[in-house]
Amino acid sequence: MEIRNSLWYTITMKTEILEMRDASFSEEDMQRAGELIRNGELVAFPTETVYGLGGDALNKDASGKIYAAKGRPSDNPLIVHIAEFSALERIVKSVPKKAKQLAEAFWPGPLTMCFYKSDVVPDETTGGLPTVGVRMPNHPVALGFIKAAGGYIAAPSANTSGRPSPTLAEHVYEDMNGRIPLILDGGAVGIGIESTIVDFTGEQISILRPGYITKEMLEEVLGEEVVVDPAVNGVSKDAKPKAPGMKYRHYAPKAELYIVEGRTPTQVAEKMAELAKQALATGKRCGIMITEENFTAFSGLKAEEGLILKSLGHEGDESSVAKALYRVLREFDEEQVDIIYSEGFGESGVGQAVMNRLIRAAGHKIIREASYNEEKG
Ligand code: TXA
Ligand code: MG
C-alpha cells in the first residue's frame, strides 16, 4: 500500500495546466483528466459558478486528498457533481417530486440539492453526514470531465480553505500549485459566486446558501414558500447552520474589510472617499471596491500614494458585481493593502448572494453613512 501524506504532496507534485478555453478541448486531454480521477488523483476544473477541486466522489481516499489539499476541516461535506440526471438515483435514497421539478427547471445550473445519501457514497465525501449535496454544473468542460471520470465528481471550490473561491485558473494555480497534478483552464467563470444550496431533508424545503438561483425563482417553480436557513448570514450566535461550511469564516481577505452603506450611491462614495482620506493620512494602504459609476467621488484622491481603486462591476447590476467580487478580493491580497472599504449592494436577485458573501468577508463590519442612520432611526 502506498502512503502519501499531504506534506509530501505539497513539496513534490508538479501541477500542469491544460487549456480548454471557449469550451474547446480534445477528447484525448479529457480522457487524461478522467483517468487521473479514476486513479484516485485530483483535478481542478471550471464550472459556471467557481472552479472546483475534483476527485472521485465514490472513493473515500480521493475525498481525503481533497480535504488535505484545501486544508479543509473534514466535517465540511463535499458537493457531488453529476453530468446526467439519471446518475442521481444511484447516490441518493430517493428523489422527491419537488426536487425533480427544480432539476428540470435549473439543471444543468448553479443549484445544489441535498438528499439522504445511498451507501455507495462514502462518509468521507459527506463529512460524516447521512445526506449528500448534488449538482449538475452548466459548463461544457465540467460536463465532459465528469463523464470522462466515471460520472461522480466530489468538488469543493478549488481554493485553500478560507480564501476567496477561484474564478480563474490562475487563482487555482496560486492555491493548489504543487498539491494537485492537473488544472483544466476554461478561462473566466460566468457567474462568480457558488451555487444556491437547497435542502430536501428537513421538514420544509429550505435554502442553506444563497446563490444565483434566488428564493423567488425557486418559489415560482415550486408554487410554495421556501424558507431560508436562519444561519445563512451568520448573525445569530445560536443558529447552527445546516450547511456545515457556512459556520467557517470564508472569503476573507488579509486586510480589514468594511462595507459602507448609505442613502444614495453618491453619498456612499463620498463617505468612502472621506474614510480613505483618513486611512491614507495615518500611512495605511487603502483599497476601494466600488462600481465604476462611482469612481468620480475619488477623483481628488487618485494621485495619493497608497490608494487603490477597483471596479466591482456596474451600479444596479448585481451579476456584474458577483463576477468581479472574488477576483478583486484576491488582487487586494496581492497588493497588500491594510484596509478595504466596499460599497454595499442591493439585496434583490443575485444581490442577496453577493451581500451574503461580502458580509462574511467583512466579518459583519458595516459603516453607515450619517444621513442613512437618521433616516432609518
Ligand atoms: O458552485 C458551487 O457549489 C461550487 C462549484 C465547484 O460547484 N462548489 C462549492 O463547494 O462551493 P464548497 O465545498 O466550497 O461549498 C459547499 C457547501 C459547504 O458550505 C458545505 O457545508 C455545503 O455546501 N454542503 C455540502 N454538502 C452538504 C450536505 N449534505 N448538507 C448540507 N450542506 C452541504
Ligand atoms: Mg468553498
Q: What is the pLDDT of residues 81-103, one digit of tens each?
A: 999 999 999 999 999 999 999 99
Please list, residue by residue across 330-343, b when 16 or more beta carbons sit within 10 angstroms of its beta carbon and e when fewer do: bbbbeeebebbbbb
Q: Which residues contact 104 (CB under 8 A, 6 or more apart)?
A: none
Give the residues across from 53 on adjacent strands: 44
Residue 11 is predicted with a pLDDT of: 53
Measuring from atom 31 of ligand 1, which residue has the nearest CA? 243
- Ligand 2: centre distance to CA 72 (Å): 9
Mean pLDDT computed over 61-66? 98
Give the residues across from 342 on adjacent strands: 259, 289
Q: How far does the centroid of ligand 2 lie from the alpha carbon of residue 165, in Å?
A: 6
Separation of alpha carbons 228 and 224, rounded Å:
13
Q: What is the overall mean pLDDT for the chain?
A: 92
112-to-77, 79, 103, 208, 364 alpha-carbon distances in Å = 12, 8, 9, 10, 26
Retrieve residue 360's grid coordinates.
462574511
**Residue of 70, 74, 79 best suited for mutating to test ligand 1, as the one with most atoms within 8 Å of CB:** 79
- Among protein residues, the one with the nearest Cα to ligand 1's atom 17 is 245
Q: Which residues contact 45 (CB under 8 A, 6 or more apart)?
A: 33, 51, 52, 54, 141, 142, 145, 153, 155, 183, 184, 186
- Cis peptide leading into 108, omega within 30 of 0? yes
In the reported structure, the alpha carbon of residue 158 is separated from the centroid of ligand 2 by a whole-number distance in angstroms of 7
Q: Distance of CA 302 to CAs 273, 315, 325, Å?
A: 10, 20, 22
C-alpha 146 to ligand 2 mean position (Å): 19
Judged by its nearest atom, the ligand closest to the C-alpha of residue 244 is 1
Q: C-alpha distances in angstroms, 351 versus 21, 78, 223, 316?
A: 28, 25, 23, 9
Per-residue cell: 206: 429550505
- Ligand 2 mean position, distance from CA 107 (Å): 20
Least distant ligand from the CA of 241: 1
Q: Are 192 and 330 in contact (CB under 8 A)?
A: no
Round to whole Å and give the CA distance between 89 and 84: 10
Q: Which residues line ligand 1 (CB under 6 A)?
A: 47, 49-50, 52, 76-79, 110, 112, 114, 126, 129, 131-133, 135, 137, 155-157, 194-195, 197, 208-209, 242-246
CB 187 within 8 A of CB 46: yes
Q: What is the pLDDT of residues 338-349, one digit of tens each?
A: 999 999 998 888
- Per-residue confidence (pLDDT) for residue 5, from 0 to 100: 47
The winner for highest mean pLDDT among 103-112, 244-253, 296-305 is: 103-112
Q: Say what the pLDDT of residue 359 is.
A: 92
232 and 241 Cβ atoms separated by less than 8 Å:
yes
> Which residues, including other chains, have CB under 8 Å from residue 36's CB and lie 6 or more apart?
42, 43, 181, 182
Distance 157 CA to ligand 2 centre (A): 4
Residue 10 has pLDDT above 80, yes or no: no
> Which pTM value belongs to this model?
0.94
Question: Closest ligand 1 atom, CA of 132?
Answer: 29
Q: Which residue has the cell 449592494?
A: 345
pLDDT of residue 253: 87
| Confidence tier at 376 by pLDDT (50, 70, 90) | very low
Atom number of ligand 1 nearest to Cα 242: 31
Can you tell me which atom of ligand 1 is nearest the CA of 131?
29
Q: What are phi and psi of 134, to 5 degrees?
A: -130, 140
